[in-house]
Amino acid sequence: MNKFSTTTILKRSTLKTLCFVLIVLSSIVGCKKDKESINNISFTKYSLEETSCYWENLNYDEKVIAINSNEELENYIKCMESNHPVIDFTTHTLLLVSGKTDSKITEIIVKDLLQISSNKYKLNIKITMNIDATGESKWVIALVVRKLSEDCKIALNITTYYENGGDDFSLPRDKYIGGWLCMDADGAGYYATISSDSSNSTRVIIGNFFNLKGSVTAIVTDETINVPNQKMQDVPAIYWCEGNGILTKKNEAYIIYWSKYSVNDEETTSTYTKQ
């Protein structure tokens, strides 16, 4: 074998070794979880009671509107005699959300406002209705919070209950559907979503499983949730996921206790609390 051929082979061997090392390093880095913390944002309810003002131009579409000036506010409020309560928009933002139900509303509770990332938020609301009192009911919630950026994105999660008819669930999986606050054993906190799988009534799709931004499919019953060993979807990296959990209810809140919660070679336990 001549000198040129030997050198070429050595270069190819070195290149293959270098590529293998880079792939291993990428896998190690890719397996690390993003431990972005979730912050609970304080708020004050904004009411038009005992004034001559009322809300207008609302679509009742369950979308959160962030108002950052008096000019914007005047698009949604009308006063007959007195002025509306003053908001200092230099330091605050008004969140306005409206919707409607097909039964009489007996109670609306704003559970919390969570900051998921620098400009993403989740507003969690609980609505209790009377199952025997049918008919459209409209609702409006206005909250004053610290100043939010103009490009902020606020998702709305509504949990519905019937005060005299139990939870509105027709399938076992229905109680899993919604947003979940997740706390892993190592203290990492993040937000996940569970949605229905249109192809199978016993399956659900978990978004942001293990806080890795991707989704996995789970099989559910009234009391258990199982993630069979599978490759995570919707992410470029390769993650093999698996999990087993038990669903319970405590103080009207659904909780999933994951006894096994793993991705690749990293395994822990986790607690999901429905929002």
Quick: pLDDT tens for 63-107. Answer: 999 999 999 999 999 998 878 899 999 999 999 999 998 888 988
245 vs 256: CA distance, rounded Å: 6
Whole-angstrom CA distances from 179 to 157, 210, 273 are 7, 14, 8
Count the Cβ atoms, other than its own, within 10 Å of residue 20.
Answer: 10
Same domain membership, residue 130 and residue 67 = yes
Same domain membership, residue 152 and residue 183 = no
Q: Is the predicted pLDDT of residue 147 greater than 60, yes or no? A: yes
Task: Quote the domain boundaries for residue 258.
Answer: 171-274
Same domain membership, residue 188 and residue 103 = no
Angle at 162 between CA 160 and CA 166, to 5 degrees: 105
* Residue 8 identity: T
- 252: which residues sit within 8 A by CB, 6+ positions away? 161
Number of structural domains in the chain: 2
Among 191, 236, 230, residue whose Cα is nearest residue 210:
191
23 vs 155: CA distance, rounded Å: 37
Confidence (pLDDT) at 252: 80
Asked if residue 1 is part of any domain, the answer here is no
What band does 208 get if pLDDT is binned at 50, 70 and 90?
Answer: very high
Asked if residue 126 is part of any domain, the answer here is yes
Asked if residue 31 is part of any domain, the answer here is no
According to DSSP, residue 62 is labeled S
173 vs 216: CA distance, rounded Å: 15
Same domain membership, residue 163 and residue 176 = no
* Residue 221 identity: T
